[in-house]
Chains A and B, each alone.
Chain A
Amino acid sequence: MNHVTCRAVLLSCLTVLLAACAGDRFEYTPVGEMDDGPGMFTGESGEAVFSLRREPGTASHDGGAEGDYEEFLEYSAFREWQNDPERADEHREFRLWQEWREQRSER
């Protein structure tokens, strides 16, 4: 196929494509790249995702993100303990201790 014919064919295809700007777009993943899809261990998302919430300007230091996540786990455990009816007596005692601390600091 000579150059003129080649370019004519490609330009014709380009014209057809531009004229046929119809249809809903779909996300095409090139053959050589990894497709979005489920993974054996990673489930439906196909990725092991790590999600973090961080305040802007928070000083970043080694293990900073890990510390936030650990704090969140502690808070979750605290809320679970707080709402556990079997521990109601312990929670009441803790609240009384807090009040005693506040009164003592006011003297």
Chain B
Amino acid sequence: MTIRCYTMTAGSALGLAAMLATGNAQAIEASVSGQVNRAIVLADDGEDTNSAFVDNQNSNSRFRFTGSAEMVPGIRAGILAEFSMVTGSSSAFSIDGQDDGFGFGRRHMDAFFSGDFGTARLGQGSGAADGGVEVDLSGTSVVQWVGASDIGGGVNFRDQDDEFGPTIGTVTNSFDFESRYQRIRYDSPAFGPLSLAGSFGKKGGAGDDTTELALRYNADFAGVGRLGAALGYSNRSIGGDIGSVETVGGSISFLHDTGFNVTLSYAQIEDDNELDADNTYIKIGYTTGVHSVALDYGVTSDLGAEGDSEWFGLGYVWRPIGWAELYAGGKIHSHDDVGDQSFDDITIVTTGTRLRF
């Protein structure tokens, strides 16, 4: 028995050695990762208050599988499959209820090929300009950022008769191009801090032709700080009276070595019908590495209803270790009078945690 065991083991060892010795073996790596981002939100619309346990849509809970291998010398092929897992979306939270549903969301289902030529991606994923108005080095984006409607987007403004008016989500928008959809995308190799990207795809149930272009700049100036910036353009052909929806915009964020930082964002959207709106955002903050705090202000003009919808807020994030963030923030949304309607301000307070696993 003992001799048979040794024979089997030795045979396996010799077989494995033979396999490894014949050369051209491929190294294949696959990885699993994810995060959970949960928060408590409290809102006051000037008449009523409500609170809820939510999944923070600034960066929702998710998990992903990635893998890559050398396909031919100089070209790597890989996959990215990422799914959100959300219970109680913070963007659907409202004064008269909460979204208690659970659902998996399709974020990325991408095949990619990369090499000296750059990276080509095919599948469900970000368009070339996605994130172009969201560049942010402040460290507080998990609780406050240009996408203000991601927390409390379902809360309605109340008029002087306590009637429900538009929701925060219908009058506030960062206009961050076309987000994720079925597309083919190309990212150029980096030219120093600069890189270019373009994509073409089909978005929505009708398969609207969607084209995006973007220019990105990410530079680290030794002894000074970091500068991140992006410019983007998107065109989605919806047809009918709407025609094409065009979005132009960009953002820039500077983080000085002392920890002071400033972030600016602007985007404009228009179609062939009546849509002509824009969004402006500014954030000023300070970060020490484990502590980050910032003040922000934003205004969306002429979206959903006449007039401007503004918000300003304060956010704080504590990052005691690389995989954990605890945060708290407060903001006040207001909307211009529309005709004979004047709206009360909405106050929203959020506290929560994002943990990577």
Which residues of A are at the interface with B, using a C-beta cutoff of 8 A? 1, 3, 6-7, 9-10, 13-14, 17-18, 20-28, 30-34, 37-42, 44-56, 68, 71-72, 74-75, 77-79, 81, 90, 94, 97
Can you report 7 A-B residue pairs in the complex whose CB atoms are below 8 A from each other?
A: A17-B215, A22-B193, A26-B218, A34-B35, A55-B24, A56-B24, A97-B3
Binds A, one of B156-164, B234-242, B320-328, B342-350: B320-328
| Contact call B26/A14, Cβ cutoff below 8 A | no
Binds A, one of B9-17, B43-51, B86-94, B306-314: B9-17
| Contact call A32/B131, Cβ cutoff below 8 A | yes
Binds A, one of B98-106, B201-209, B224-232, B287-295: B224-232
**Does B114 reach chain A (CB closer than 8 Å)?**
no
Contact partners of B217 in chain A: CB under 8 A = 17, 20
Partner of A90 from the list B2, B58, B220, B252 (CB cut-off 8 Å) is B2
Contact partners of B66 in chain A: CB under 8 A = 47
Q: State A44–B356 Cα separation when bound (angstroms).
A: 11
Which residues of B are at the interface with A, using a C-beta cutoff of 8 A? 2-3, 6, 9-10, 12-13, 15-17, 19-20, 22, 24-35, 58-59, 62, 64, 66, 126, 130-131, 134-136, 141, 145, 190-194, 215-222, 226-229, 231, 248-250, 252, 266, 268, 278, 321-324, 355-357
Please name the residue on chain A nearest to B31 by beta carbon: A47
Within the complex, the shortest CB–CB distance from B348 to chain A, in Å, comes to: 19
| Contact call B141/A31, Cβ cutoff below 8 A | yes
| Contact call A24/B356, Cβ cutoff below 8 A | no
Please name the residue on chain B nearest to A37 by beta carbon: B322
| Contact call B266/A40, Cβ cutoff below 8 A | no
- A-B contact count, CB below 8 Å? 176
Partner of A94 from the list B3, B64, B130 (CB cut-off 8 Å) is B3
Q: State A71–B10 Cα separation when bound (angstroms).
A: 10
Please name the residue on chain B nearest to A7 by beta carbon: B248
Partner of B231 from the list A10, A38, A41, A50 (CB cut-off 8 Å) is A10
Q: State A71–B30 Cα separation when bound (angstroms).
A: 20
Contact partners of A32 in chain B: CB under 8 A = 58-59, 130-131, 134
Partner of B193 from the list A21, A54, A77 (CB cut-off 8 Å) is A21
> Known interface pairs A17-B229, A78-B9. Does A34 touch B218 (Cβ–Cβ under 8 Å)?
no
| Contact call A23/B10, Cβ cutoff below 8 A | no
| Contact call A27/B250, Cβ cutoff below 8 A | no
Contact partners of B191 in chain A: CB under 8 A = 21
Within the complex, the shortest CB–CB distance from A21 to chain B, in Å, comes to: 5
| Contact call B16/A6, Cβ cutoff below 8 A | no
Contact partners of A54 in chain B: CB under 8 A = 25-26, 28
| Contact call B321/A74, Cβ cutoff below 8 A | no
| Contact call B134/A39, Cβ cutoff below 8 A | no
| Contact call A30/B27, Cβ cutoff below 8 A | no
| Contact call B323/A21, Cβ cutoff below 8 A | no
Within the complex, the shortest CB–CB distance from A91 to chain B, in Å, comes to: 8
Q: Most B CB atoms within 10 A — which of A28, A42, A78? A: A28
Q: State A17–B35 Cα separation when bound (angstroms).
A: 34
Contact partners of A79 in chain B: CB under 8 A = 13
Q: State A42–B356 Cα separation when bound (angstroms).
A: 9
> Known interface pairs A14-B231, A48-B33. Does A78 touch B12 (Cβ–Cβ under 8 Å)?
yes
Q: State A6–B231 Cα separation when bound (angstroms).
A: 12
Contact partners of B131 in chain A: CB under 8 A = 30-33
Within the complex, the shortest CB–CB distance from A99 to chain B, in Å, comes to: 13
Contact partners of B10 in chain A: CB under 8 A = 78, 94
> Known interface pairs A17-B194, A22-B219, A23-B193. Does A51 touch B27 (Cβ–Cβ under 8 Å)?
yes
Partner of B220 from the list A1, A26, A51 (CB cut-off 8 Å) is A26
Q: State A55–B1 Cα separation when bound (angstroms).
A: 33
Knowing that A18-B194, A21-B193, A47-B31 are A-B contacts, what are 11 other residue pairs whose CB atoms are under 8 Å apart, sorted by A's residue number?
A: A13-B252, A14-B231, A23-B192, A30-B134, A31-B58, A31-B141, A32-B59, A34-B356, A55-B19, A68-B19, A94-B3
